[in-house]
Amino acid sequence: MAQQGQSFMRGTLVLSVAAFINRILGFVSGMYIARVLGAEGIGLLMMAHPLVPLVITITELGLPVAISKLVAEAYARDERLKVRRILHVSLAITGVLSVTLTSVTLIGSEWIASILLSDQRAYYAMLAITPIAPIVAVSAVLKGYFRGIQQMKTIAASDVLEHTVQIACVLAMVHLLLPYGIAYAAAGAMAASVVSEAISLSFLLASYKLRGEAKAPGETWANHLKHGRSTLSELLKIGLPTTGHGVIQSLYFSFQPLLITSSLALAGISTAVATQQFGLLAGYAFPLLFMPSFITQSLSTALVPAIGEAAANKNGLLMHERMNQAMGLGLLIGAPATVILFEWATPLTTLVYDAPDAGMLLKILAPMFFLHYFDAPLHAILLGLGRAKDTLVNYVIASLFKAVSIFVFGSQFGIKGVAYGIGIGIVMQALLNFLSISGSIGFYWNIRPYLQVGVSMAVMGIGGHWTFGYLTEQGLPLLWSTPASIVAALLLYFAALVLTGTLKWRSMRLRIAIPW
């Protein structure tokens, strides 16, 4: 059991490191695209992208999660034939569905564009990204297989390879196509994503081939599919309940650009300006807001089985201990991230994107986005408790509330109102998930550490603001005064945590002690 725990933690650490590398690579790629295409080009990219996740969600049918679970169980029983049958049946389903839906999307692309795209210049970018769906779907099946056999290094390597290739392709495609216009350059950036995904899939296929899975006599694709009805039933029993959330999420994100630009049009903003403002929000502010969340996402991956195991053993004490640790880590990460994104909003968007106008939107969203760093662990806790239906209901309610808020505030106050509407939706979703957990098993916590972190945030914000102002008055360029003041503020934050007893020096050699 201890060895399994170590293997699980090692795999989680590998994925966390890979996620950090990918976040940096993606951030560098996004920064280049944002600087070259500008806010208007980013707006076209954001409009063209949302349809693809819907196609991918439908074709995957929640199978990656089901595959990892069933493969792990089959491997534990040494049922290698069943492992291969799971893989063959899953590939057949996703392959047929993804190719069919992608073909329909390509055939009806003009009609889809006339409905979803408020700016028809995004049509070429939508067309360029559409072929990515079958590639991602097949990759997801293979990743589910590698998760099931605990080969996390293969998944991590494929992800890093994908993002590295994507940067190279984006640089080349945007450079080549920009002279022909911003619409073609945006399409080139989308095409780069397709190429990088294809390279990643090739790596996963090669890794599977190198494993050299021995086939039984007479084992064929047709044989697997002929006798795969029970396997298909097992896969769908696990996969379908998780698909509803993904479909609704994809549908919402498909219509969100149209919702935002429509609300801005009612505020008297032209289509071109609305596209530019949407680019400031989705292409500049959101990447900075989501940057720190890779840690809580990695934590959530480990939290689902941990909560599930504790719930199955009816170990309420362990369950609440894991919950408190998750919330504590979310607090320690989210607190300094929120202060940085709020206090240095305009300097960050100026340095990274050369877009100081995006700083205003980042400053509006940062305080409300603080709850987002808790939402991923809360969502994982509900899944671990077997309350997937609650997560779906909460998401639907929060999304409806967010859509109404965006439309009402956006039509009255422009892009600032849109930002407030999105922030309100984030707050609503986190609160609903929290209430669902409280109503199910209760939520017990010690308020003292949260007050201590609150004091540390105040010290960090005041100290950082003063340091930035002092360095700026001394004539230090923005490139130096911003990182220097952020580092000074972080040092103040961690010093305050130590002085208040939130972090323990004696345990920092191996881990951070979260005493709640």
* Residues 366-421: tens digit of each pLDDT: 999 999 888 888 887 887 676 777 888 898 899 999 999 999 999 998 899 999 99
- Indicate the pLDDT class of residue 3, thresholds 50, 70 and 90: very low
Total-model pTM? 0.68
Look at 335-339, 423-427, 447-451 and tell me which has the smallest mean pLDDT: 447-451
User: Is the CA virtual torsion 344, 349, 351, 352 positive or negative?
Assistant: positive
Rounded Cα gap, residues 140 and 62, in angstroms: 10
Number of CB atoms found within 10 A of residue 78's CB? 8
Only one residue has tokens 């609440």, namely 320
pLDDT at position 312: 59
Q: What is the pLDDT of residues 163-183, one digit of tens each?
A: 888 888 888 888 888 888 888
Lowest mean pLDDT among 176-185, 215-224, 356-365: 215-224
Q: Higher-confidence residue: 306 or 314?
A: 314
CA–CA gap between residue 494 and residue 73 (Å, rounded): 43
Higher model confidence: residue 290 or residue 428? 428
The pLDDT of residue 279: 82
pLDDT at 507 over 50: no
Q: Residue 133 has what pLDDT?
A: 83
pLDDT of residue 459: 94
Residue ranges of alpha helices (H) inside 108-228 are 109-116, 123-129, 132-148, 152-177, 182-211, 221-226
